[in-house]
Amino acid sequence: MSQKNRKGKASELYRQLGRRSLGGSVQMWDDLWTGAHLATMAAGGAANGVPYGAVEDGALAVAGGRLAWVGAAADLPGAPETLARRVHDAAGAWITPGLVDCHTHLVYGGDRAREFELRLTGASYEQIARAGGGIRYTVEQTRKASEEALYASALPRLRDLLAEGVTTVEIKSGYGLTLEDELKMLRVARRLGAEEPVTVKTTYLGAHAIPPEFDRRPEEYIDTVVAQMAEVAASGLADAVDGFCERIAFYPEQMARVFEAATAAGLPVKLHADQLSDSKGASLVARYGGLSADHLEYSCEEGIRAMALKGAVAVLLPGAFYFLRETRLPPIEAIRRHGVPIAIATDCNPGSSPCTSILLMLNMGCTLFRLTPEEVLAGVTRNGARALGLEETHGTLEPGKVADFVIWNIAYPAELAYRIGHNPCRLVVKEGQVVKDGRVVRGG
């Protein structure tokens, strides 16, 4: 943001909020954070030559759980105490938007440590899946688990993410594979969102794997998924629909049937696309106007071009790439050249990415995929929000957006991607409220 734009923006907002409270006893804002540098991650920041959309010596105000003012402290329309009921000094820290983990399978039963051992003695992920292990093993464990047990096992994983500044997370079903067990998983995901200081977006992943009772009858299983779509939508438990389009899961024609049903039920779609082979998943997502295509290691340029035309987000998952010791890189240059927004996520799941560190994903996005620290930070803020259809309300520090932000003990934003195994998160603010050790400690 140029100095001029910043001033323009500030005074415009100031007008909107009205002068009336100034000088009186009623302050117009609940909280004002000063003494901070802001990585606003607002679109156009980098384009205008300001990396990270940064505002040094900035200030940020919260009113009613929303960001009410964002700008240079020097442009504040008055003395801080006259403007807000509470004034906080961030003492030179950096503030970013709350982080968004836009692709996780956080809710599941059991773990797959044995499979990890097997893979290290030579079996491949595909071989294990074809032999009935892999996802099917987790399905067995998840079906057996009570809702309470699933909640109890997912909670510490979620808290790991929250401790690193995640304020929005997507959680998929996909290990139940019966209507009842899928809804059980989605209810657990919703409950996590209701009880923890985090926004949860849920995704129905019925087309994740062929369940054992449909062995060698994938079409019939897809018939079931399609037939159940209306009920899933009516339950209100799913915000989107996902699938695994891969030679060890479902063909594009089968996924297209699921997407037709989802679209008819009013649910947006996304896809595990081209992770192990070029299954034309990227093009399929584009054809259905999907939110995102995820993984993309084997996507061809045509698929990327189609995504660009439809505004789909490329969700890159360096944890799965690393853990499966994949060597084929996603087509990063094509993704950049076509201007497809890049998001980064943990893909937290027991089989291919048992990872609950979003900061590690930032590092791996840079080291493994050669993304820049700014690209990966945009990937877990602005573009992560977009991948969940939340771009109007989340993902950047801009007036009007939900007041989700993180205060970091860092001297420069690139540090978030640079360090390995270090968490510089000082404080999280969720919807204007300060969160400490996973709990809201003060109302905004």
Q: Which residues bind Fe ion (CB under 5 A)?
A: 347
Q: How many CA atoms lie within 13 A of 194 on its CB side?
A: 8
Residue nearest to Fe ion (CB): 347
Rank residues 103 and 191 by Cβ distance to ligand DI6 and give the closer one.
103
For ligand DI6, the closer CB: 350 or 395: 350
CA distance 304 to 294: 12
Q: Which partner in ligand DI6, Fe ion, none is near 352 (CB below 5 to 8 A by kind)?
A: ligand DI6
| Cβ 349 to Fe ion shortest distance, Å | 6
Distance CA 89, CA 8 (A): 25
CB atoms within 10 A of CB 152: 12
Binding mask 267-286 toward ligand DI6 (x if CB under 6 A, else -) reads -----x--x-----------
Nearest-angstrom CA–CA distance, 113 and 111: 6
| Closer residue to Fe ion in complex, CB, 93/312 | 312
Give the range of 52-60, 93-101, 258-266, 343-351 binding ligand DI6 by CB under 6 A.
343-351
The enclosing H or E element of 38 equals: strand 29-39
Q: Which residues contact 81 (CB under 8 A, 6 or more apart)?
A: 27, 87
Residues numbered 196 to 215 that lie near ligand DI6 (CB under 6 A) are 208
Residue 150, CA atoms < 13 Å, CB-side half-sphere: 31
Burial letters 182-215, b for 16+ CB under 10 A, else e = bbbbbbbbbbbbeebbbbbbbbbbbbbbbbeebe
Which C-beta is closer to ligand DI6: that of 90 or that of 316? 316
Looking at residues 215 to 254 of the shown chain, list those that interact with ligand DI6 (rule: CB under 6 A). 244
Other C-beta atoms lying within 10 Å of the C-beta of residue 66: 18
Using CB under 6 A as the binding rule, whether residue 330 contacts ligand DI6 is answered as no
Q: List the one residue out of 192, 172, 158, 289 whose CA is nearest residue 238.
A: 172
The full DSSP string for 205-273 is: EEETS--GGGTT-HHHHHHHHHHHHHHHHHHT--SEEEEEESTTSB-HHHHHHHHHHHHHTT--BEEEE
Contact 380, 354 (CB under 8 A): no
Query: Minimum CB separation from ligand DI6 for residue 208, in Å?
Result: 6
Q: Compare residues 196 and 347 and give the one whose CB is closer to ligand DI6.
A: 347
By the 8 A CB rule, do 315 and 103 touch?
Answer: yes
Nearer to ligand DI6, 168 or 352 (CB): 352
C-alpha to C-alpha distance for 210 and 136, rounded to whole angstroms: 8
Residue 209's closest CA among 257, 245, 183?
A: 245
# residues near ligand DI6 by CB under 6 A = 13
Q: Which residue is nearest to ligand DI6 (CB)?
A: 351
Q: Which is nearer to Fe ion, 317 or 402 (CB)?
A: 317
Q: Which does 32 bind (CB under 5 to 8 A by kind): Fe ion, ligand DI6, none?
A: none
| Site pattern 129..148 for ligand DI6 (x: CB under 6 A) | -----xx--x----------
CA 142 vs CA 179, 231, 365, 403: distances in Å: 13, 21, 30, 35
Choosing from 185, 222, 320, 417, the residue that interacts with ligand DI6 (CB under 6 A) is 320
Kindly state the smallest distance separating residue 349's Cβ from ligand DI6, in Å: 4
State the nearest-atom distance from the C-beta of 235 to ligand DI6, in Å.
22
Interaction with ligand DI6 in 345-404: which residues (CB under 6 A)? Answer: 347, 349-352
Residue 135 binds: one of ligand DI6, Fe ion, none (C-beta under 5 to 8 A by kind): ligand DI6
Q: How far is the CB of 246 from ligand DI6 (least distance, A)?
A: 7
In the bound complex, what is the minimum distance in angstroms from residue 71's beta carbon to ligand DI6? 41
Nearer to Fe ion, 31 or 347 (CB): 347
User: What is the per-residue DSSP string for 342-394?
Assistant: EEE----BTTTB----HHHHHHHHHHTT---HHHHHHHTTHHHHHHTT-TTTS
Given the complex with Fe ion, which of 153 and 433 has the nearer CB atom? 153
> 37 or 136, CB closer to ligand DI6?
136
138 binds, among Fe ion, ligand DI6, none (CB under 5 to 8 A by kind): ligand DI6
| Residues in contact with ligand DI6 by the rule CB under 6 A | 134-135, 138, 208, 244, 272, 275, 320, 347, 349-352
